């Protein structure tokens, strides 16, 4: 069952992403050779009447692609020039490149919105409330009514920000927590060490914040946008931390890590909510990663388009192919490393 759920989640995210490229390509009259879910050996395929595209599902459900005319120099010479991607305008090409990312963001937002609409909303702050007295933060001197303003010197404004900063700090690490007291003075509690719970297999600092339950449709909209922004901001902080060395690649997870998360979240009460939220998070994650200006990503293709627009010169297909190949190889090396790390974690 875990495998089925895993394939369904990834399949939905990939399908929505590639559907964005596909729809925009069709809209601009670009010839589409293939629309594929998965990689590797073909399981089955079909063609629609009066449609050149071959739709297929392949064995390995870890991605997908839309093959367009005009992406390489090896296109069928019988295809008209105005049906090739390379001959379209800057805005048309750019819209095709970013359509997948846009779809992923929309999917993530819509799922969060539906969950909020059905299950209700809760808004958290950075104001401490109901602090457990037996945990490190209370013992350090924090009290109910104090407002957490910084974690390890970085500003926080709500509980989502706090969770992001704790994740960046690393599991079980000592952290500095700065709070603003009721009299307005700020106090920093240095090197607070979390306690480990054998029952829940996790670390706790004893941070408990004040919240409120949302009411009405406007709160649902506000919550959905707020959660989307928090997820996006968290991903941005992670990328910046990776480049600055504050986070190592050991902190990344790949398909095996996602599979493990699906297995954990599919058990017990609230499994449907948790799995849907994971789907939303992963969809936003895929959109975010693809918009990065890295070769082999949609953002990398968009970046090359921008360079062409600025310089007024087209980059040859050969150079683009070399850049994409290098990017793909680096991506595969990273993926293999992350996968091996995730497998080791399972044991």
Active site residues: 18
Dist. CA 213–CA 219, nearest whole Å: 9
Burial 106-126 (b: 16+ CB within 10 A, else e): ebbbebbbebbeeeebeebeb
Burial 138-174 (b: 16+ CB within 10 A, else e): bebebeeebbbbbbbeeebebbbbbbbbbebbeeeee
Task: Return the C-alpha torsion angle 71, 76, 78, 79, nearest 10.
Answer: -20
Cβ neighbours of residue 344 closer than 8 Å, sequence gap 6 or more: none
Contact 238/165 with Cβ under 8 angstroms?
no
Distances from the Cα of 260 to the Cαs of 223, 231, 264, 324, in angstroms?
28, 20, 6, 30
Residue from 3, 10, 8 nearest 282 by CA = 10
Contact 44/57 with Cβ under 8 angstroms?
yes
Residue pointed to by tokens 């290098």: 326
Angle at which helices 90-119 and 298-311 cross, to 10°: 140
């Amino acid at each position: 069952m875990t495998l089925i759920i895993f394939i369904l989640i990834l399949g939905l995210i990939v399908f929505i992403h590639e559907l964005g490229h596909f729809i925009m390509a069709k809209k601009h009259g670009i010839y589409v050779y293939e629309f594929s879910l998965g990689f590797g050996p073909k399981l089955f395929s079909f063609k629609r009447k009066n449609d050149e595209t071959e739709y297929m599902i392949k064995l390995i459900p870890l991605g997908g692609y839309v093959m367009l005319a005009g992406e390489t120099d090896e296109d069928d010479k019988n295809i008209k020039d105005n049906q090739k991607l390379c001959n379209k305008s800057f805005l048309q090409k750019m819209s095709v490149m970013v359509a997948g990312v846009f779809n992923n963001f929309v999917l993530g937002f819509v799922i969060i919105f539906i969950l909020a609409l059905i299950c209700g909303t809760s808004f958290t702050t950075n104001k401490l409330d109901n602090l457990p007295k037996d945990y490190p933060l209370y013992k350090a001197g924090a009290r109910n009514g104090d407002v957490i303003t910084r974690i390890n010197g970085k500003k926080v404004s709500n509980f989502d920000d706090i969770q992001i900063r704790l994740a960046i700090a690393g599991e079980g690490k000592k952290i500095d927590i700065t709070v603003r007291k009721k009299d307005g003075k700020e106090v920093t509690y240095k090197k607070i060490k979390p306690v480990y719970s054998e029952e829940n297999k996790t670390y706790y600092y004893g941070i408990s914040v004040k919240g409120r339950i949302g009411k009405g449709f406007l709160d649902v909209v506000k919550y959905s946008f707020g959660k989307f922004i928090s997820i996006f901001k968290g991903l941005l902080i992670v990328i910046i931390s990776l480049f600055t060395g504050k986070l190592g690649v050991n902190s990344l997870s790949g398909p095996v890590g996602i599979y493990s998360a699906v297995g954990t979240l599919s058990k017990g009460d609230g499994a449907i909510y948790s799995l849907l939220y994971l789907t939303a998070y992963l969809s936003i994650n895929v959109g975010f990663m693809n918009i990065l200006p890295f070769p082999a990503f949609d953002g990398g293709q968009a970046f090359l388009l921008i360079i062409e627009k600025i310089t007024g010169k087209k980059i040859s297909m050969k150079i683009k192919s070399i850049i994409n190949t290098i990017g793909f190889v680096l991506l595969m090396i990273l993926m293999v490393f992350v996968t091996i790390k995730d497998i080791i974690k399972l044991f």
